[in-house]
Structure 1
Amino acid sequence: MKLIGIDIGKNKHFFCIMDQQTGEIVSLPVSFSNDKEGFDFLLQKIKSYQKESVLIGMEDTGHYHFALLKYLLDLQYTVALINPKTTDFNRKMQGGITKNDKLDTINICDVLDTPERKKQYRISKVNSFDLYEQKQLTRHHHNLKEQLNVYGNRLQKCIDIVFPEFNSLFKSKYGTVYMNLLKTFGSAEAIVDTDIRTIRKCFDINGRGNRIALTPEQLKQCAKSSIGISSTAEIIQIKHLVNQIELINKQIAEIDKKIEEFSLKTNSPILSIPGISHFSGTSILAELGDISNYKKPSQIIKFAGVAPLHYESSQFTAQHTSITKKGSKYLRKTLYQIILPVIRYNPVFKAYYQKKISQGKGHRCAQGHCVRKLLRIIYHLLSTNQKFDPVLLR
């Protein structure tokens, strides 16, 4: 078997070739450009070996390796992706104090040259690119939601200054009338100085849904007695923030529509679990990748970073520890977002949650137990392509 280690860079990559049986470096580290000419140069160097006898390894970092990975997979080469922390740890374990691109290629070959039982890499397949777009979309959704929270908090701060009574007039925030008023006026003083007919225009909305109980007259009366202060800077911020929030909501709706299309096409068995939506299901599948890369449920629990941290030293064993929080933060975030509806809509999970609470576990700890139970079920469903059946959990 020939091991080919590739160190990825933005403009150029390095590679070397090692004979696994002898440990001899067959081809010393050499660079090639990150373009078609460079890829063809690499191919010329390795095409003399049979594809079945070649294992190519590269670090799974950033995005600079995507084009090369797709190029090699299209040619039906076997490619192993390695966590950069693994290569860094391997270098330090060997006492290495020098790090450069050439030495990294050899280090990657050393990582590839590990027993099957202890392999520290995962094999990438062509179909993994089907999940790439889904992963980018679901992560973009998460990022937009975080931006929405930031803008929402800033908006509330501005409202508290210019019209602190405004939120108490509405049962829920960010409705159509709510946003129209902020976008049009921005402060209590502006509402007071406006005639009632102009205010009524903000209340005129088309489409379905219940109309709010608040009237333009009540709004104006509340604005007259408001303790808010007039601030040009805050009013400008309010109008800008409202526009940004509305734009982000439109972007999220566009993303969710595409995610649903992917989900319907995939038709994964995990969608049969009550509480898992098209978005959360797609996010879980995209973050986990090919389920065949995991041999047992504990591996995906570890990958999600929800495994309980075990700390033991001499005669001391920690009784209360947090989860490891290693691995995919997006997967972990999705799991904790959906675990409450999963508990609510599934009697088995609800009973399991209550059992942990009765054992003296806290709410968050009990949630963690349910998350790990959910991952074990997801692993089984994906491995067997079986629909969820709550009866089998009893």
Structure 2
Amino acid sequence: MSEIDNAIKECDLMIDRIIESDAELKENYAIITSIKGVARQNGACLLIFTNNFRRFDLDARKIACYYGVAPFGKDSGTSIHSPAKTSHFANKLIKSLLGQAAHCAKKFNPEIREYYNRLIGRGKKPQVALNNVKNKLIRIIVALVRKKVYYDPKTYMFYNAKFTDVKQMLNS
């Protein structure tokens, strides 16, 4: 068992060295992991599988498709309309890692928890709401990396608040 633990520690050190060796990788990794719920493995996997966001041109929809969290409906003419579903051909490893990040974010990130509870309150099934949280995390990450800013819950709340809530936030 100690051999496995040592191998894991060695892999973590190698990942850290690679991230530290490139300034852009280091900055994007720090931005990604600034979100509560997105930790070391998720940040590293997102950078690896997107080639530091070069593979998908910082397009959240493309990344969500690759991760298997973007739902698509099937329509044909006037009679065939199926509900939107996610693809089962996605990369299962990164989809499961994103699922773990969504669970952690739902538990420890108040803004994401509020979003999840709002979806449940609208009658969404828990698995559908969790998939929406995964998609939201991808969209937040892409927006932060594009703007080169760290996650700030106040800014997130400001952009997602209703207009009356914004007036109250500005007055206080």
What is the TM-score normalised by the length of structure 2?
0.75
Aligned mate of 2:15, from 259, 280, 287: 259
The separation in 1 between residues aligned to 2:4 and 2:146, in whole angstroms, is 37
The separation in 1 between residues aligned to 2:46 and 2:15, in whole angstroms, is 12
The separation in 2 between residues aligned to 1:261 and 1:343, in whole angstroms, is 30
Question: Do the aligned partners of residues 363 and 261 (structure 1) sit closer, same or farther apart at CA in structure 2, a change above 3 Å counting?
Answer: farther
The separation in 1 between residues aligned to 2:127 and 2:143, in whole angstroms, is 25
Alpha carbons 2:58, 2:142 under 8 Å: kept? no
Which residue is equivalent to 1:299?
Answer: 62
Which residue is equivalent to 1:316?
Answer: 80
Higher share of residues assigned strand: 1
What is the TM-score normalised by the length of structure 1?
0.35
The separation in 2 between residues aligned to 1:255 and 1:295, in whole angstroms, is 27
Alpha carbons 2:58, 2:146 under 8 Å: kept? no
Does the alignment pair 1:376 with 2:139?
Answer: yes
Which residue is equivalent to 2:39?
Answer: 277
Aligned mate of 2:4, from 234, 248, 263: 248
Give the letter aligned to residue 103 of structure 2: L
Question: Do the aligned partners of residues 306 and 346 (structure 1) sit closer, same or farther apart at CA in structure 2, a change above 3 Å counting?
Answer: same
Q: Which has the larger radius of gyration?
A: 1
Moved beyond 4 Å, runs of 4+ = none
The separation in 2 between residues aligned to 1:296 and 1:250, in whole angstroms, is 37
User: How far apart are residue 368 of structure 1 and its match?
Assistant: 0.4
Name structure 2 gaps, 5 residues minimum.
Answer: 158-172
Q: Aligned ranges for residues 46-65 of structure 1 at < 5 Å? A: none
User: How far apart are residue 331 of structure 1 and its match?
Assistant: 2.3
Q: Aligned ranges for residues 1-394 of structure 1 at < 5 Å? A: 245-264=1-20, 266-267=26-27, 268=29, 269-292=31-54, 293-294=56-57, 296-313=59-76, 314-319=78-83, 321-394=84-157
Name structure 1 gaps, 5 residues minimum.
Answer: 1-244
The separation in 2 between residues aligned to 1:300 and 1:310, in whole angstroms, is 18
Give the % identical residues.
24
The separation in 1 between residues aligned to 2:88 and 2:115, in whole angstroms, is 23
User: How far apart are residue 315 of structure 1 and its match?
Assistant: 2.0
Alignment coverage as a number of residue pairs: 149
User: How far apart are residue 327 of structure 1 and its match?
Assistant: 4.2
Q: Determine which structure has greater relative contact order: mean sequence separation of CA pairs < 8 Å that are 6+ residues apart, divided by chain length.
A: 2
User: How far apart are residue 295 of structure 1 and its match?
Assistant: 5.3
Question: Secondary structure of 2:102's partner?
Answer: helix
| TM-align CA RMSD | 2.1
